[in-house]
Structure 1
Amino acid sequence: LDQPESVNDHTARERIAAERPDAVLICAFGALIEEPLLSAHPMLNVHPSLLPRWRGAAPVERAIEAGDAETGVSIMKPIAEMDAGPVFLQERERIRPDDDYGSLAPRLAAVGGELLVRALDESPPPHDQPGDGVTEAPKIGAEDRRLDPAMDAEALARRVGALNPHIGTWIPLEGEERLGVAAATPAPRGPAPGALASEDGRLLFGCAGGALELLRVKPPGGREMEAADWARGHKESLQP
């Protein structure tokens, strides 16, 4: 196992060359590979999207967040431009209505492994990506985790699914505290945007055009739990 600070530095390139690889395989690698390493060996990159859609660091999250009906995996040749190289193989994967990152990502990983073996065995010819349909999948930032009540309930529910369970989303409580939201679904109505209320045993977060029903939450410093159980013990945080 070799974990250099930069795969592009001279020492790292020498170590890779010493192994005389038939191919260099890249998966979930968050840095650009630069010349001269980029041209030194045959390279295959496993990218979890249907390129050219969702080039970048967070393709799985952005596909769920956007409400895409499907995504997939591309086996492509890395070039200097991020995720813009020619594609050897692609396979589609449906995004199910109840998918979150935790259910979709493992399926894509399995597809990626199978495609990578095929690419190595069959050596298919690469095809340039089309110029149309390019979208970016920027890295998830701190601002993405906050559930903004100015957004509608459908968009908020998709964001919760996109960022759970590996990153997490939250809503603000009084003071500086935050309530983590692990699962949620749209509701037709609820309290004013930004407010929390309990209605018929459901915990509702008001947002644009309706409400987000919180199903599972993570209290500050606590473990994930049913939202209704949290609400029963925190009536002071709820709108009357």
Structure 2
Amino acid sequence: MNGKVFLAGAAGAVGAALTPLLVESGYEVYGTTRHIERTDSIRAAGAHPILVDMFDRATLADAIERVAPTIVIHQLTDLPPGLDPARMADAVARNARIRTEGTANLVAAARAAGCERIVAQSIAWAYAPGATPYDESHPLDTAAEGARAITVNGVAALERTVLSLNQTGGVGAVLRYGSLYGPGTGRDAPQGASPLHVEAAAWAALLAAQRSRGGAFNIAEDSAEVTSEKAKRELGWRPDMRLAQRVVQ
């Protein structure tokens, strides 16, 4: 057994792909959801389901203290299936709240329980305009306005919170995912300037949990928009990784 993983968002698209990879790698996985009807699927994937809301600080802190994980992985979002345009306006604000308040609660609870290794989902399309391809040193678009400002400010808050672990002896890694497609995402084919298959995203989270020394990583298919060379070099990640490859022990 490699240790315990507290996986926030285990029933989501990335979480559902990531859980079997973690289990096959020898981790004991505790996966969260806010919806009781999703606990069976988490259990079927080999994890222990935990019913908790990331905005309920006391319950979340108690859950993480009881698990005492060695790694916390944050894959929470609050987006409509297929990014339905008719529902995105409300979802943008909800998703930003998860990235700000939810992330702060999760990291605080993890650190209180003695866990100093956290991997979190971010996005690869929050960069400020500039010369492409963007690498991880390029600044985020904090001067954005309107709905994009809500998204970017939420991303910036999430990343500050997670990356702060690296300043105090812990390991905080953020994975700047491209636009997801594949099972559970509502998209069957690549879309956007920086697409990413959901199973390749799950592999990136596993590899970051195992190998990362902290920092930000672009995680996307090769394109002119962003470069994922850092993840390839430091994590051994490839954009063609799929669940069919399974885990080589």
Choose between structure 1 and 2 for higher RCO, CA contacts under 8 A separated by at least 6 residues.
2
From the CA coordinates, give the structure whose radius of gyration is larger.
1
TM-score (norm 1): 0.32
User: By percentage of residues, which structure has more helix?
Assistant: 2
Indicate the structure with greater strand content: 1
